[in-house]
């Protein structure tokens, strides 16, 4: 009897201490809470997966969305394979009972609290809160049961697919109209821009060219009127400068950048000259000619006087081999004429002209490229010659115009007189 009692106690101790010995055994770490959760996750979701796997392809929820789930495909997603249970996302009370009466939207905030909080302040979040159901929600960008990491080429937000993901809304004329999305079909504009062409090209630039989120942000995407937006007027130089550092540095040292630094927000920034979603190759002749109009948008008097010159007349016809604004003044490093570093300063004007006119000399640079023929300050000879030609032109048109009117009057009078005369008698034989 005593012997059986001792054997029973020994057996109990052996069974009770077995888990402790296993946990403390070399090479085996104690089980963590995360590991335990991962182990339980499949079991917690298995009933949901089994049920939705048996659904027909045409079956839809009360919200009109398909309910069929591919278990194998779901297991390969970011949430599948035990990383999250169904009720982690679908936490609504209506989903805990079957049949589901009120499915409701997935609760991303249960795990991604920071991202959801940031989203609420974005253009999309505010539009949703205001009742605009067209505005993109989490699932529209990341997917639903097919969510994959950004680094995965199959992800909807990977470099390869981001343009198409954003374009699903911003490239749809119907959705743009229904959601009153500003900018129109910006997806098509981006696709045809230099950024879009490089993205789909075979050069190394396709791995560095900016995508939608590089300029607009991701969960912190805000409208351009918001001072904190990455594409606000004040912040756009910094945003563009993340890729175009040299151009940003030159612009900051130029007159436009200095005015911006002095809080003169009307001074042009990157998008004033280059555009936004329609940015073109700055080496393209077509763009070099068209950007002259952008300069003229601010410098109205100078664009008028430029158009009066040979340079202006030829570029107005579409030829880019003539001098444009940037040819003389520079592009990002534009400086006032009084600054010795300016391309049109007294110290550098000769070298600037010689870039196109190698034989230019000191007399050559005395030419006034922006002489205003309507102002005496540009020279009395030019002013009075212009006035004489204007008077002469007006006089010639007035004289010959009056001459034509009087001649017409005389012709009509003679025609009327002929019709009033009796027909002459014909001689009878």
Q: What confidence tens digit (pLDDT) does each residue in 28-58 have? A: 444 444 444 444 445 668 888 888 899 898 8
**Residue 266 and residue 335 in one domain:** yes
Domain that holds residue 400: 379-418
Residue 245 confidence (pLDDT): 96
Of the three residues 70, 104, 138, the one that is the final residue of a domain is 104
- Model confidence over 1-13: pLDDT tens digits? 444 344 444 444 4
Average pLDDT, the chain: 86
CA distance 367 to 127: 57
**Residue 262 and residue 349 in one domain:** yes
| pTM for the whole structure | 0.75
Residue 122 lies in a domain: no
Distance of CA 190 to the CA centre of its chain: 6
**Residue 291 and residue 407 in one domain:** no
CA distance 203 to 345: 40
**Residue 249 and residue 281 in one domain:** yes
Q: pLDDT at residue 333 above 80? A: yes
Residue 44 lies in a domain: yes
Residue 410 confidence (pLDDT): 92
**Residue 246 and residue 361 in one domain:** yes
SS3 state of residue 262? coil
User: What's the chain's length in residues?
Assistant: 429
CA distance 166 to 160: 12
Residue 36 confidence (pLDDT): 45
Residue 135 lies in a domain: no
**Residue 293 and residue 411 in one domain:** no
Residue 48 lies in a domain: yes
Q: pLDDT at residue 92 above 80? A: no
CA distance 415 to 407: 12
Residue 282 confidence (pLDDT): 92
Q: Is 193 exposed, middle or buried (0-12, 13-18, 19+ CB in 10 A)?
A: buried
Residue 348 lies in a domain: yes
DSSP 424: P
Residue 23 lies in a domain: yes
CA distance 230 to 223: 9
SS3 state of residue 271? helix
**Residue 361 and residue 390 in one domain:** no
**Residue 349 and residue 409 in one domain:** no
Per the model's pLDDT, the better-predicted residue between 40 and 191 turns out to be 191
**Residue 237 and residue 353 in one domain:** yes
The alpha carbon torsion through 98, 104, 108, 110 (nearest 10 deg) reads: -60
DSSP 226: S
**Residue 344 and residue 272 in one domain:** yes
**Residue 34 and residue 85 in one domain:** yes
Q: Total structural domains in the chain?
A: 3
Q: pLDDT at residue 120 above 50? A: yes
If pLDDT is split at 50, 70 and 90, which confidence band does 327 have? very high
**Residue 100 and residue 49 in one domain:** yes
């Amino acid at each position: 009897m005593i012997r059986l009692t001792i054997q029973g106690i020994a057996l109990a101790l052996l069974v009770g201490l077995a888990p402790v010995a296993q946990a403390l055994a070399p090479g085996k770490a104690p089980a963590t809470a995360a590991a335990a959760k991962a182990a339980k996750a499949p079991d917690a979701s298995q009933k949901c997966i089994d049920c939705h796997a048996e659904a027909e392809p045409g079956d839809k929820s009360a919200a009109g969305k398909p309910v069929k789930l591919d278990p194998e495909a779901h297991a390969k997603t970011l949430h599948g394979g035990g990383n999250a249970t169904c009720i982690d996302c679908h936490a609504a009370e209506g989903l805990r009972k079957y049949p589901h009466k009120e499915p409701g939207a997935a609760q991303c905030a249960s795990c991604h609290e920071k991202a959801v909080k940031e989203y609420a302040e974005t253009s999309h979040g505010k539009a949703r809160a205001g009742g605009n159901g067209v505005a993109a929600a989490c699932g529209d960008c990341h997917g639903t049961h097919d969510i994959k990491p950004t680094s995965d080429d199959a992800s909807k937000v990977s470099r390869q697919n981001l343009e198409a993901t954003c374009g699903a809304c911003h490239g749809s004329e119907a959705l743009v109209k229904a959601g009153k999305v500003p900018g129109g079909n910006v997806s098509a504009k981006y696709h045809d821009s230099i950024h879009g062409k490089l993205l789909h090209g075979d050069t190394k630039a396709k791995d560095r060219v900016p995508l939608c989120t590089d300029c607009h942000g991701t969960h912190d995407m805000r409208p351009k009127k918001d001072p904190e937006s990455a594409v606000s007027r004040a912040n756009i130089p910094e945003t563009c400068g993340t890729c175009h550092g040299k151009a940003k540095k030159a612009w900051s040292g130029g007159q436009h950048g200095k005015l911006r630094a002095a809080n003169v927000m009307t001074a042009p920034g990157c998008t004033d000259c280059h555009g936004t979603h329609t940015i073109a190759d700055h080496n393209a002749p077509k763009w070099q000619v068209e950007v002259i109009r952008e300069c003229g948008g601010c410098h109205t008097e100078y664009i008028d006087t430029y158009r009066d010159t040979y340079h202006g007349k030829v570029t107005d016809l579409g030829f880019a081999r003539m001098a444009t604004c940037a040819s003389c003044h520079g592009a990002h490093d534009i400086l006032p004429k009084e600054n010795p570093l300016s391309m049109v300063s007294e110290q550098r004007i000769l070298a600037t002209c010689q870039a196109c006119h190698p034989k230019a000399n000191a007399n050559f640079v005395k030419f006034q490229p922006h002489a205003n023929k309507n102002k005496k300050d540009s020279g009395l000879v030019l002013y009075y010659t212009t006035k004489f030609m204007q008077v002469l032109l007006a006089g010639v048109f007035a004289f010959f115009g009056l001459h034509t009117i009087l001649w017409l009057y005389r012709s009509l009078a003679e025609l009327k007189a002929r019709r009033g005369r009796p027909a002459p008698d014909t001689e009878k034989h």
